[in-house]
Amino acid sequence: MTIRAFIAIGLPGELQAEIGKISSALSARIPGVRWVPSENLHLTLKFLGDIEEAIIPDIQVILDQVTPRHLPINCKFGGLGVFPDLRSPKIIWIGVTKGRDLIAGLADDLSRELSGLGFKPEKRGFTPHLTLGRVKKGVRTAQLRKLIEAEEEKTARLNDSHGLLYINMLLLQKSILTSKGAIYHILSEHK
């Protein structure tokens, strides 16, 4: 049997709520975006896709080996952006302002180790971020650019006060897609 899985860094509820406030402020002013519910906010290190359940123990062994090489990490969140760019935005995100290189190194190490199980390494560099929303077709990019710039001050305040995260564990999670959005379940924690 296959499951849809990914490796992530989870967020405590209070940080999810703070970042959720930013999403709410943006959602009231940017139509045409499917916003991630605050309880689903996480930092994805590696999307595994549809995998056979039989491979999960092998992934867990790799997580147990990689985690102590990189954690703990202190990080801060702040700054808004879009992927791939403002001409054709697909993802609205909040970035990592402290600990960015350490998280990128962790993601690269995971990708290398998982390649031995047949997972393709990422071709482009890893950019640590939290996905806030997925942009639907037809969103006015000029309006989106202005709103992101206006919210930059709020994300700076988040960065200075509530945007801190002490990362001491990785999560192997499965994702169940429903008509109302994704539902995440933790398969294992790796400290």
Given 70, 129, 162, 190, which residue is catalytic?
Answer: 129
Would strands 91-98 and 129-135 be described as parallel, antiparallel, or unpaired?
Answer: antiparallel
Active site residue 42: yes
Closest to 129 in 3D by CA, of 67, 30, 64, 41:
41
Task: State how far the Cα of 5 lies from the Cα of 7, in Å rounded to an integer.
Answer: 7
Tell me, what DSSP letter sits at residue 166?
Answer: E
Cis peptide before 72 (omega within 30 of 0): yes
Task: State how far the Cα of 86 lies from the Cα of 132, in Å rounded to an integer.
Answer: 15
- Catalytic positions are 42, 129
